[in-house]
Structure 1
Amino acid sequence: MRTFLESPRLRLRRFTEADLDLLVGLDNDPEVMRYLNGGRPVPRETLRTRSLPRLLHIHPCTGEPGFWAAEERSTGAWLGWFEFRPVDDDGGGEVVELGYRLHKAAWGRGYATEGSRALIRKGFTELGVRRVTANTMAVNAGSRRVMEKAGLRYLRTYFQDWPEAIDGSEQGEVEYVLTYEDWSTGPEVRRLG
């Protein structure tokens, strides 16, 4: 299986159809899904026909998928996934959306920050990315902290219509961003220089 990226503790690889059972386990954990759908279970058939094709989709502008299965390098354990996909296929992949969904057992161990930083570095140094954006519910403090640790800065709070409101949705969504210019002059890059 082709590895897209390795960091000290993580391996990111392409999804395969054989990953369906892993997705079922992840997307049926109420705590994992709390800020996505209020913690409701996601039917296996929905994951097979809607979610998995989205995770497998190859973006024409990059020739790569935008979602990566995350494994622990030392054990091979599946931790969840990372998103680093073009916002607009016509835009050439210069603006990407960063996201992550990890098993609860992986929370608080720095995996989300490590994977996010590694993707950002690869995006800015190898993939021609100029801007990274990330979004979450305003009340999702854990995800917001990961975005900040990865170097993204708060841009705005916005409100959208949800088919079904979930706890905290009344406080809106937040968007964080990081540009190549800000990243390339930031303290992390200077330390590695």
Structure 2
Amino acid sequence: MVRRPGPQAPAVIVTDRLRLRTVVPDDADDLYALEQDPQVMRYLNGGRPTPRIPPQDPTLYRMPRGAESDVWAAHHRQTGQFMGWFALGQGDDRIGSLGYRLRRHAWGQGYGLEGAEALVDHGFRILGMAAIHADTMAVNLASRRIMEKLGMRHLRTYEEPSQEPIEGAEAGEVEYGITAEAWFDRRTLS
């Protein structure tokens, strides 16, 4: 379910256990704290803490600061606890780009799949995307499992040039994707 309470209010998507809402500047502290966990950042920058950047500075696409309309803060519905974020950007070609990052305490409990599934469905049903892709390091098996459970197929393995060495980078990056048609076919079968 998606609710848009008003023109200035963030959009909200509610799942069984999560409440996703577009990020606002007040989310900056939670987003920053998430990026300070070396395990969370392991496959992104080798586990190094990320410097604090003002919310209005768009220099780092993968590091939300609280001002991006395509990034959704995820909170536990019952406790209100910040669980992480999900992102769904869209280019001119109607192909979405899915991303997510969760706090460690949320790992292995299905929150990643639950939030990603809600956002992918939103991308196809509400935003009219033709396809949605997601990328991760080939060695990030947990992220790959989420992509596969979403029904995404492996599209390619490629090298991502990195200025700093990250353990596992030698295995490359992988891109997964699903079309709107495949998404709706899967939903009909389940």
Residue 49 of structure 2 is aligned to residue 41 of structure 1: yes
The Cα RMSD (Å) is 1.9
1:164 maps to 164
The 8 Å contact of residues 133 and 175 in structure 2, kept in 1 or not, is answered as: yes
Distance, in Å, in 2 between the alignment partners of 1:183 and 1:53 is 27
Q: 1:27 to 1:54 in 2, by over 3 A?
A: closer
Offset, 1:189: 2.6
The 8 Å contact of residues 14 and 20 in structure 2, kept in 1 or not, is answered as: yes
Identity %: 46
Q: Gapped runs of 5+ residues in structure 1?
A: 58-64
Residue 17 of structure 2 is aligned to residue 9 of structure 1: yes
Q: 1:138 to 1:185 in 2, by over 3 A?
A: same
Residue 146 of structure 2 is aligned to residue 146 of structure 1: yes
Offset, 1:152: 0.8
Q: Gapped runs of 5+ residues in structure 2?
A: 1-8
Offset, 1:3: 4.0
Distance, in Å, in 2 between the alignment partners of 1:47 and 1:35 is 23
Give the helix-richer structure, 1 or 2. Answer: 1
Pick one of 32, 40, 47 that aligns with 2:40.
32
Read off the aligned partner of 2:95 and give its amino acid letter.
V
Distance, in Å, in 1 between the alignment partners of 2:146 and 2:80 is 23
Distance, in Å, in 2 between the alignment partners of 1:20 and 1:46 is 8
1:62 maps to none
Q: Report the TM-score, using the length of structure 2 for normalisation.
A: 0.87
Pick one of 58, 67, 74 that aligns with 1:70.
74
The 8 Å contact of residues 24 and 47 in structure 1, kept in 2 or not, is answered as: no
Residue 118 of structure 2 is aligned to residue 110 of structure 1: no
Residue 180 of structure 2 is aligned to residue 189 of structure 1: no
Deviation per residue, 1:139-187 (Å, 9 max, x gap): 000100011111111111001210112000011000000001111222x
Q: Report the TM-score, using the length of structure 1 for normalisation.
A: 0.86
The 8 Å contact of residues 25 and 66 in structure 2, kept in 1 or not, is answered as: no
Read off the aligned partner of 1:96 and give its amino acid letter.
G
Aligned residues: 179
For 1:123, what is the secondary structure of its paired residue? helix
Offset, 1:56: 1.9
Runs of 4+ residues over 3 Å off in structure 1: 45-55
Offset, 1:24: 1.8
For 2:121, what is the secondary structure of its paired residue? helix
Deviation per residue, 1:14-40 (Å, 9 max, x gap): 211111211121000000000000000
For 2:40, what is the secondary structure of its paired residue? coil
